[in-house]
Amino acid sequence: MEKSVPIRSVSRSIAVLQAINRGEWLTVMEISKAVDLPYPTTFRIIQTLMHEGLVTCEAGCKRYRVTALVQSLALGYADNGSLIEVARPHMVALTQQHAWPVSLTTHVGRSMIVRDSTHTLSSLTFCNYAPGYSLPLLECASGHAFLAHIGHEERLGLLAGLEAYERRTPLLDMFKSERLVQMIRDNGYATWERNPHTQFPGKTSSIAVPVMNQGEVIATLTLVFFASALPMAEAVRRYADDLKAAAREISAALNQPGSRRATMAVEAVATA
């Protein structure tokens, strides 16, 4: 079988649609910077998405957002919700304890996708990251926690796919060489300072830990805090152990003997 080759125009169009979906009334320049594409290319993709009815433009200020039609892209997806059901009480408890919002994310393609979050339960947040919000795999704490805890061959396959249509980066090389992998595994968590892919880039930082099921990572828990509120080292000291404890409790619940939760959670992730 021939090695599959990504269709670059499709990959770029998906990236643009995801960037618009993450933002709120973005300009072409803002979208262009978010996806690291030339302005003319970004503009042509936006025009195509508008033609298909997935994006609309506010004529007065030339800003763009997605339309309700994007919901049609998820009509064939079924998530039985067992992973969310198990994780939700622990996420709420973490937010009640520390005030900061917590997200549950899973891996889909080149992204980590928010499945649930407690942003609406906290005043210490800039916006609500609703289910479906996507973050680039290599540029978020949750992606790093996921990459560090999958198998060696699977990781190399994902990295090869990323390298096929993204420019080579030091982070990609660090994951290939296992240096970053071992550090994250030794710590039990991954971090990212001043998150770039949010509605307010650079305003928040994150700590993420893996949620395991039968020895495999199926999700990550991520605590998000204001970057200006405290340095990363202090955030790790305060929150990392509680995050890891919550992830262990979720994993234990998913692996309860006689329970279908573990199988259901794996099936839910596999259909994504």
Torsion of CA 247, 250, 251, 255, to 10 degrees: 170
Long-range pairs for 146-153: beta carbons < 8 A, 24 or more residues apart:
146/107, 146/112, 146/210, 146/217, 146/220, 147/175, 147/181, 148/175, 148/180, 148/181, 148/184, 148/185, 148/190, 148/210, 149/184, 149/185, 149/210, 149/212, 149/217, 150/216, 150/217, 152/178
Domains along the sequence of the chain with CATH = 8-74 (1.10.10.10), 82-270 (3.30.450.40)
Sequential pLDDT tens for the chain (272 residues): 345 567 888 889 998 998 888 777 889 999 999 888 999 999 999 999 998 888 998 877 788 988 878 877 765 555 545 899 999 999 999 999 999 999 999 998 888 999 999 999 999 988 777 788 888 899 999 999 999 999 999 999 888 888 876 667 888 888 988 889 999 999 999 999 999 988 788 999 999 999 999 889 999 999 999 999 999 999 999 999 999 999 999 999 988 764 444 444 444 443 34
Determine contact, residues 5/164, Cβ cutoff 8 Å: yes
Distance CA 94, CA 108 (A): 25
Residue 223 CA from chain centroid, whole number: 12
CA distance 4 to 101: 39
Say what the pLDDT of residue 272 is: 40
Select from 30, 36, 47, 40 the least CA-distant residue to 11. 36
What's the confidence (pLDDT) of residue 81? 59
Please give the pLDDT value at position 111. Answer: 87
Its sign, for the CA torsion 259, 261, 264, 269, is negative
Residue 225 neighbours by CB distance under 10 Å: 22
- For 191, half-sphere exposure in the C-beta direction (CA atoms, 13 angstrom radius) is 16
Q: Distance between CA atoms of 199 and 23, rounded to whole angstroms?
A: 5
